[in-house]
């Protein structure tokens, strides 16, 4: 490598002598911190949330599937968390893991990425690498990070290095972990890419280089749009199959026996998580800059967005069949995390279902073994705690809506004692008069 600054940084990364800075200690940043710590790097975590920083420094965890013991071990072996962005200068690598939500107009909200870059830029120095992991539209790294990183006179590709490497965390998936999920990396220059590969190679089993940051950004969007579109398809087929008296879950299971050319996607009450409900709209927004209208992607978004109302419609129909109106009823929602067996509430369709039910005059409650208290959210609020499930409490509700199918639920108990059960997850395959498929 002809660039001596880059060569020196690569050597230090290969020897694990570099300090890794993780900016944003959430569902992406915290597992990444643990992985770099486990392979022998000194890791500095930076976050604007003082409560998170204090908990980590005390050896505690605030994410269910990350144990306090793993945080405590990391602390013992050198990990430290801080809210002080001046300490950016200590780090040889800075990995940005901050949120990229949508605003109320379903346009990209880049404030977290921009504000974080603005916070670190005054403390950047020669011989560092900056990697953005937040999911975003193609061009973000070049358009938003590049000019800010170079404001103080540093030159990307010469004395500081810039890459994009999309996160691929899947909370609650026991089959994969940070180490085993291949890592896509794109650099602003070829030298940036070389340094980026050196950054991730010690921590990740397989690192996949691509030609540019824009290609890496588009890769992440394709992955999640692929899921969003296919889930939209099966959700639409669910509505058609229901009208025809066909069980869509039986159909998907049967189709999945084909050993080629088919991937099973299952319908549900809507899309949740930080990626799949959001990422497609990053591309539709950016495509308009090029005079393009992504009709296929937007249509799937409309289908998926309509699912919470479809579930509530099924609830209304079920109550009507039993001679009741939704207004004045007591309704219990089972599962408010966005997917099974996690405590992650981001973009959970369960919350929208709760809001729709409450807006129609019903009294709402929830039960979720992973979310004992309804958390503070940017756009939603319920002053509720999780209901403990037993025969008496289940029977006290006019209807129960299964929104997230956690393994910890006793499904036989629920079915036995629910007056009306709305199943949006296909857990109950045998037809019963009090169970409505949604």
Per-residue pLDDT of 1-53, as tens digits, reads: 679 999 999 999 999 999 999 999 999 999 999 999 999 999 999 999 999 99
For the chain, how many structural domains are there in total?
A: 2
Contact (Cβ atoms closer than 8 angstroms) between residue 90 and residue 81: no
Domain span holding position 419: 250-437
| Cα separation values, 287 from 145, 194, 430, Å | 20, 30, 45
Active site residue 329: no
Q: Is 200 helix (H, G, I), strand (E, B) or coil?
A: helix
Residue 121's CATH number = 3.40.50.720
Please check the confidence at residue 421 and state whether its pLDDT lies above 80. Answer: yes
Q: Is residue 226 part of a domain?
A: no
Please check the confidence at residue 303 and state whether its pLDDT lies above 80. Answer: yes
Same domain, 274 and 328: yes
Same domain, 347 and 278: yes
Q: What's this model's pTM, rounded to 2 decimal places? A: 0.90
Contact (Cβ atoms closer than 8 angstroms) between residue 32 and residue 44: no
Same domain, 400 and 258: yes
Q: Is residue 227 part of a domain?
A: no
Q: Is residue 414 part of a domain?
A: yes
Closest CA to 337 of 157, 105, 172, 160: 172
Q: Is residue 234 part of a domain?
A: no
Rounded Cα–Cα distance for residues 2 and 216 (Å): 25
Average pLDDT over residues 218-225: 94
How many Cβ atoms from other residues are within 10 Å of residue 8's Cβ? 13
Q: Is 38 helix (H, G, I), strand (E, B) or coil?
A: helix
Q: Is residue 160 part of a domain?
A: yes
Please check the confidence at residue 279 and state whether its pLDDT lies above 90. Answer: no
Same domain, 141 and 43: yes
Beta partners for 208? 184
Tokens 């059960």, located at residue: 421
Please check the confidence at residue 275 and state whether its pLDDT lies above 70. Answer: no
Mean pLDDT of the chain: 94
pLDDT for the residue 169: 83
Same domain, 46 and 188: yes
* Catalytic-role residue among 91, 97, 192, 275: 275
Same domain, 194 and 296: no
- Per-residue pLDDT band at 172 (split at 50, 70, 90): confident
Please check the confidence at residue 276 and state whether its pLDDT lies above 80. Answer: no
Taking the CA atoms of the chain, what radius of gyration do you get in angstroms? 24
Same domain, 266 and 379: yes
Q: Is residue 406 part of a domain?
A: yes
Contact (Cβ atoms closer than 8 angstroms) between residue 123 and residue 149: no
């Amino acid at each position: 490598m002809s660039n001596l600054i880059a060569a020196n940084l690569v050597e230090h990364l290969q020897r694990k002598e570099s300090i890794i800075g993780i900016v944003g200690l959430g569902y992406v940043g915290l597992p990444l911190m643990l992985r770099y710590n486990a392979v022998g790097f000194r890791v500095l975590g930076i976050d604007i949330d003082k409560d998170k920083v204090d908990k980590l420094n005390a050896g505690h965890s605030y994410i269910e599937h990350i144990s306090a013991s793993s945080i405590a071990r990391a602390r013992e072996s050198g990990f430290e968390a801080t809210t002080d962005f001046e300490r950016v200068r200590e780090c040889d690598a800075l990995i940005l893991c901050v949120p990229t939500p949508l605003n109320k107009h379903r346009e990209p909200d880049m404030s977290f990425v921009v504000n974080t870059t603005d916070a670190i830029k005054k403390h950047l120095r020669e011989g560092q690498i900056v990697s953005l992991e937040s999911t975003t539209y193609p061009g973000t790294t070049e358009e938003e990070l590049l000019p800010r990183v170079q404001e103080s006179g540093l030159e990307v590709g010469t004395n500081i290095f810039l890459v994009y490497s999309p996160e691929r965390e899947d909370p609650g998936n026991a089959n994969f972990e940070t180490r085993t999920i291949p890592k896509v990396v794109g650099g602003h220059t070829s030298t940036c890419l070389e340094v980026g590969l050196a950054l991730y190679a010690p921590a990740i089993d397989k690192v996949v280089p691509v030609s540019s940051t824009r290609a890496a950004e588009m890769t992440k969007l394709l992955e999640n749009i692929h899921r969003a579109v296919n889930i939209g398809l099966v959700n639409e087929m669910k509505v058609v199959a229901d009208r025809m008296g066909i069980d869509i879950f039986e159909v998907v299971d049967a189709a999945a026996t084909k050993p080629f050319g088919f991937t099973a996607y299952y319908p549900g009450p809507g899309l949740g998580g930080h990626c799949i409900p959001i990422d497609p709209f990053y591309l539709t927004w950016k495509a308009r800059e090029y005079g393009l209208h992504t009709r296929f992607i937007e249509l799937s978004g409309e289908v998926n967005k309509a699912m919470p109302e479809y579930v509530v419609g099924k609830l209304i129909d079920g109550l009507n069949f039993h001679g009741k109106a939704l207004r004045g009823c007591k309704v219990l929602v089972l599962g408010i995390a966005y997917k099974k067996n996690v405590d992650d509430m981001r973009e959970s369709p369960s919350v929208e279902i709760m809001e729709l039910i409450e807006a129609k005059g019903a009294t709402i409650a929830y039960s979720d073994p992973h979310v004992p208290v309804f958390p503070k959210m940017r756009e939603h609020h319920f002053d509720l705690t999780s209901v403990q499930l037993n025969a008496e409490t289940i029977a006290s509700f006019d209807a129960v809506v299964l929104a997230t199918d956690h393994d910890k639920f006793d499904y036989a108990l629920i079915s036995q004692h629910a007056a009306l059960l709305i199943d949006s997850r296909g857990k109950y395959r045998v037809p019963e008069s009090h169970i409505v498929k949604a």
